[in-house]
Chain A
Amino acid sequence: MTGAGRGMGATIAETLAADGWRVCVNYGTAAEEAAAVVARIEQRGGTALAIGADVADPVAVDAMFERVEDEFGPVLVLVNNAGVRRDLPVGFLPPDDWARVLAVNLTGAFHTIRRALGPMIRRRYGRIVNISSISTGRPLPGQSAYAASKAGLDALTRTVAIEVARRGVTVNAIAPGLVDTGFVGEIEEEWKAAMPPRRVAQPGEVAALVRYLSSEDAAYINGATVNIDGGLTAGLAIFSPRGRPAPAGIAVDSENEEE
């Protein structure tokens, strides 16, 4: 589980652990938070291991998998949640920032998927869930790098899904809308009012979908990107108060504050 140190990723990690999965809580910079996630899992009788690794670095990813395989055995479920954002109008967006967003959000998933697939294929079972975003089809101003990275992630999801389907491996994506990741104070009432259900999603609702897509029951769901946005993207347009960028919670990822 990449990007599991905080926010939605932490909730997903704890949910999978509650189902009996032994969970690797990967983090980029949130070492203390990741340790706290492991502690909470262990307090509830689960098993978890915090490993710091920059998913943009294939050597670090390989080392992380080696350690997980040594401690827990083969990885059968991979959740790619690690992500960063650099929201600026494209004319102001430094090339290095663009590159970093693509490196973590898209290439990072490529590295973990590439490393995970072999053992999954050998065991005729694997579940890969990529955390995408509704911004792929409905971006807000300033989200060029983020939306492009997540659109690429959706394409990666579909491509790998059809490559490995006959070996019992499924690859899907989840596209959350606005999620309450603990920054409740930052989610303004006008944003909540723009959501068809008049509320934002709870992390547990996203985690429940990850849990299902990770299960044997979801064997025939493959190559899908499932929106979990309360119907926000079902309508004609997305409300954006005064054209401002989305608050930190939208299309959320757990490493939003990485740098």
Chain B
Amino acid sequence: MELKTPPSAEKMGARILEALVEFGADPEMMSPEATLEDLEIDSLDMFELAQILHQEYGIEVNPDDFEDVKTLGDAQQVLLGYLK
């Protein structure tokens, strides 16, 4: 995986939250325990999020990594894992 400009975990985490709000997630409901279903985030949103991370940071998201993702915390853990 080649990073264009390696972001800090904090910066990328903030970008993820910003994107989810853009997709329609309620900022008030954002918490690591909130499920993607509760946030009304679906596979199209996750696809677009993957596009953003690829475009801005050169990260290649593997959809298989999201098989067990249920909550926002799960999603952030997987996505921030790409920085390691």
Which residues of A are interface residues toward B (Cβ below 8 A)?
Answer: 117-119, 121-122, 163-164, 166-167
Main secondary structure of the interface of B (DSSP, over half): helix
Query: Given B44, B52, B54, B55, which contacts A167 in the complex, CB threshold below 8 Å?
Result: B44
Provide the main secondary structure of the chain A interface.
Answer: helix
Shortest distance between the CB of A8 and any CB in chain B (Å): 32
* Inter-subunit contact B44/A122 (CB<8 Å): no
Task: Indicate whether B76 reaches chain A with its CB closer than 8 angstroms.
Answer: no
- A and B contact pairs by CB, cutoff 8 A, 19 listed: A117-B47, A118-B47, A118-B48, A118-B51, A118-B54, A119-B51, A121-B44, A121-B47, A121-B48, A121-B51, A122-B48, A122-B51, A122-B52, A122-B55, A163-B44, A164-B44, A166-B44, A167-B44, A167-B48
Shortest Cβ distance from A164 into B: residue: B44
Q: How many residues of B contact A (CB 8 A)?
A: 7
Q: Which residue of B lies closest to A118 (CB)?
A: B51
Bound-state CA distance A113–B75 (Å) is: 26
Interface string of B28-54 (1 = CB under 8 A from A): 000000000000000010011001101
Give min CB distance, A162 to chain B, whole Å: 10
A47 vs B16: C-alpha distance when bound (angstroms): 38
The complex places the Cα of A122 from the Cα of B55 at a distance, in Å, of 10
- Set of chain B residues within 8 Å of A166, measured between Cβ atoms: 44
Question: How far apart are the CA atoms of A164 and B47 in the complex, in Å?
Answer: 10
Which A-chain residue is minimally distant from B55 (CB atoms)? A122
Contacts of A118 in B (CB 8 A): 47-48, 51, 54
Instruction: Write the nearest CB–CB distance from B72 to chain A, whole angstroms.
Output: 21
9 closest Cβ pairs, A-B complex: A118-B51, A121-B48, A122-B51, A163-B44, A164-B44, A121-B51, A122-B48, A167-B44, A121-B47
| Complex Cα spacing A117 to B54, Å | 14
Q: Which of B50-74 contact A (CB under 8 A)?
A: 51-52, 54-55
Residues of B within 8 A of A119 (CB): 51
B45, chain A: closest CB distance, angstroms: 10
Nearest-Cβ distance from residue A59 to partner chain B, whole angstroms: 15
Find the A residue at minimum CB distance from B43.
A163
Contacts of B47 in A (CB 8 A): 117-118, 121
Report how far A122 CA is from B44 CA in the complex, Å. Answer: 11
Distance to closest chain B CB from A115 (angstroms): 12
Q: How far is the CB of A141 from chain B (nearest CB, A)?
A: 41
Closest Cβ of chain A: how far from B47's Cβ, in Å?
Answer: 7
Q: How far is the CA of A166 from the CA of B44 in the complex (A)?
A: 9
